[in-house]
A and B are shown apart, each in its own frame.
Chain A
């Protein structure tokens, strides 16, 4: 199968925005959904839809079977020891909040510290600040250099006895840096400190093995890996799931409820109150099949090729400045043009059919560290091509032309 053929799996790409061909380069915000996943969702909605885990009828059994299979696919995708350790959430943000409530409020208290990195998305900052406010827990930050690489050599000094959790993203959404999370885990575990990894930007682009990484918690979202919105996964080690508090209370997460009290069900159900996002989870399962069909290694290599080309070509444009030039980088090109605000870049590129993101990318501390208010960000997926890059570069040249 060629990349050209693979593009045909994404009918949404084959459209015009005004008079221009669509060049979709906002994949780090949300990826597109292949026909195979659309077909699976249609099959579910037209043949299987029902509530799970509680019906005795045929449709409920079908839905339950498909839903459970999706969880098995997730477990195999992450190489988790058991699918019971893969909790369906609404997305990465909810996964991290689940840990803040279930783990943080149970085990952390006054005087404790959480270490986060300078590259975090707000989703891996704000829940910890909220917990800190409530419990008297403070935050400590792993610094980064001007290229957007974490200074992990400084991590050992940050890890004293007060540190109860280390939270770091696998790949930076703002700059594309691939963090050496295995090293973070090694250093933290050396002091018996658990590690949470925000994998939202990693799982679509590389093979992730949670056992090899040794992560205590690993969270990601379906909609950044060719699945539908509304579902994500939190993987956690069994020892934590057994001891953590539930997050939301309600149906499905209990064994029995009386006026005297409630006995909680075991993981994953303990953390999945209410009717889960059945359709989206089944779609995520189909997206995993799709990505594994192409191969994560092949996907990573193709995206690296596109990033290298785009980087070289955009630097040929006078006045373009790149942010995030780490040695190890995923397909994210964060840039601006001297004298032009990124929003104006975004609007002009949009007028040429090029979809990028302009703003702080929910990573204001990263922007503050770099001393800029925002960047324009083009982010690549394996279904992008050289024509998309041509269009991006032409668009950036038009920005230069208009702003003189």
Chain B
């Protein structure tokens, strides 16, 4: 059984209590909604992209501590990245949660590795991935995404 204190690390609890970049971004150039219909988690992700660079990311919505902290930390981490860099980071985050990323090797996740413990809890992987999934959809110009349906490629391996 996963140690709960390793899962709910202080940084995750802190972002859950005080989410960063929380609230709608009226100046967003793209946005997408992420839904997990099985549990009701729901987030709107907003991004301001100029010349291929992410100037700002914001989010709004409701969900568990894991999903909310994942969204909050994502908004901080994605700022200033190019769209290509962000996509790579999204892919690495996904790989980490499905246990396929060598964290001792090179990667761009930084503090986001605090979510590694979630990979031990298959039923919670979707929570951590949901906001990332929505950011990916926003950057691709899609407006709605879901953890179900074809989106399952995110958690299945």
Contacts and interface: CB of A to CB of B under 8 A. Distances in A.
A69 interface: no
A403 B40 contact: no
Given A347-B124, A403-B13, A341 B8 contact: no
Given A341-B64, A343-B127, A344-B8, A19 B1 contact: yes
B8 A20 contact: no
Given A341-B63, A343-B64, A343-B127, A351 B5 contact: no
A348 B7 CA distance: 10
Contacts, number: 57
A340 interface: yes
A19 B4 CA distance: 14
B1 A351 contact: yes
A63 B17 CA distance: 59
A280 interface: no
B65 interface: yes
A343 B4 contact: no
A402 B68 CA distance: 16
Contact of A358 (B2, B8, B17, B39): B39
Contact count band on B = 20 to 34
Interface of B is mostly: mixed
A364 B1 contact: no
Nearest to B3: A351
Interface in A331-382: 339-344, 347-348, 350-351, 358-360, 364, 367, 373-374
Contacts of B2: 351
Given A340-B65, A343-B64, A404-B13, A351 B39 contact: no
B64 A344 contact: yes
A78 interface: no
Nearest to B1: A18
A398 interface: yes
Interface in B63-121: 63-66, 68, 121
B153 interface: no
A67 B38 CA distance: 35
30 contacts: A17-B1, A18-B1, A19-B1, A339-B17, A340-B65, A341-B68, A343-B39, A343-B64, A343-B124, A343-B127, A344-B64, A344-B65, A347-B4, A347-B7, A347-B124, A348-B4, A348-B8, A351-B1, A351-B4, A360-B39, A360-B40, A373-B63, A374-B39, A374-B40, A398-B4, A402-B4, A402-B8, A403-B8, A403-B13, A403-B65
The 7 closest A-B pairs by CB, nearest first: A18-B1, A341-B64, A343-B64, A344-B65, A373-B40, A351-B4, A359-B39
